[in-house]
Structure 1
């Protein structure tokens, strides 16, 4: 078989035909990451993104930071799962039926997903939807997937509320399974910040006193910890998962009235919801089913139909203690 040289222009055209769009679009890059992970079932995150960049190199150069952001979005969406050691895992297909459409979550690339579900799959950034749910359940079942409710997809049944009971549970963990002060600092001192809540709001600050702590590791990761009063450098602590640390942020903010406000701004038949800080994963997943994130706000602003505003703000107030301010 004869080999032929492919020019960058031809390479770009072939990739565009294969991906159904420009090779460096968010939708195309998301699909390439999905395809890599799905084909291998699991693979190191760094190696996966490097393979995608090398695949695209003859046609277009894509920076590592952009691929990293796209992979973050796929992890938040639930199309891939980041496990211990920085390994990405493929996910089964899950479909959530909504009022007039359905959201699809799967590591299957879009073209394969559309063929399996026998319908058009519409992609917008990392989000994918189908227009109709008629006959969808049987097709989803054939590819080993399932239909789930919005609450089940969010994981509400497995996640506690961000309230005083959750903080008491963290205190019990501290009493039963505390690690020694400074035990996370074998590679050098860490610059710990604590979650401070004041009448002006809540944020991470440098301090010697606090209960919820966060520090960046020497190699670019993060540590999260809970203590009785002092820094994990000087006090016994329990290490927290990202999800538990997110819940603790809101539970601590709930202790001071008005520290976490959810601002709702009306504009005709639409509402803009301004979230004070990054939401925990379950609430983020649930909100993403009922609202659209405002581009460039990193999940802090959402557009919703005015008819859905009361339902959404009620749930966020109950689960996270957010105080709703309507403007």
Structure 2
């Protein structure tokens, strides 16, 4: 199989590419990435010479470029997206371009050049908004709370509309919070590890009681593989691990693993529209595609801490003023 992976130099996309090439010896991967914020070719340094892997620098909003690759592949997995909520509050236009126009461009290229190609569109649990009790199912209403989640919800609607109208073989995945190797240092878990290792304060929004369901990135990429191989067109699949933790719990666990004092924790002004709790019901993918998470949070967070502490060569060039001296969401990017 020949795959086009968009956004493959990012955190989840790069982990997916590495997993696919390790598991499927006869598969080929084309990685299309504009190398914007959050992308990093060092994420795939260990496979850059693999003859089955090709990197192309390019933007998914470039129709002429995208259509040339759509003609040549059997399937597309769209990881490409602007994904940092704080940045979406300050600069929402960038999110509309990548997360809406980019999705439209991919869909139009498929419709016009290769309607038989398989598409898996990677979305997020944030499109549902927050939920105080219970868990969201795939047919629940979308109530996004930020420019980021609104742009992702818009992309989802485009996928569903094009799939039905033009009979495209497209599916959507919505996953909870990922963590693991190669995650951009500005995210909560790597930022906590990096700043903790330097003896710097760990900023936490509000009271730290916001709840997220955490999933180890390799469990997520296995789920995406399952949808790619066995998922039904025009279906949505929630992906979760049932590992709900408050942000404060997560930070305290990391500091304990590192032997650091909790006095490093510093509560800062909360951001606007900050969802309190995310929770997904992933029974559908478990029942229909026989996928289950394998890595507990306790195991995964230990592996993640060890990876960052042992791979300073990777994160050190990415650490800048935003990580060393973080400011509230009001910072203008």
Question: Same-fold call, TM > 0.5?
Answer: no
Name the structure with the higher helix share.
2
Which is greater in Rg?
1
Pick the structure with more strand per residue: 1
Q: Tell me the TM-score normalized by structure 1.
A: 0.23
Q: Which has the higher contact order (CA 8 A, sep 6+)?
A: 2
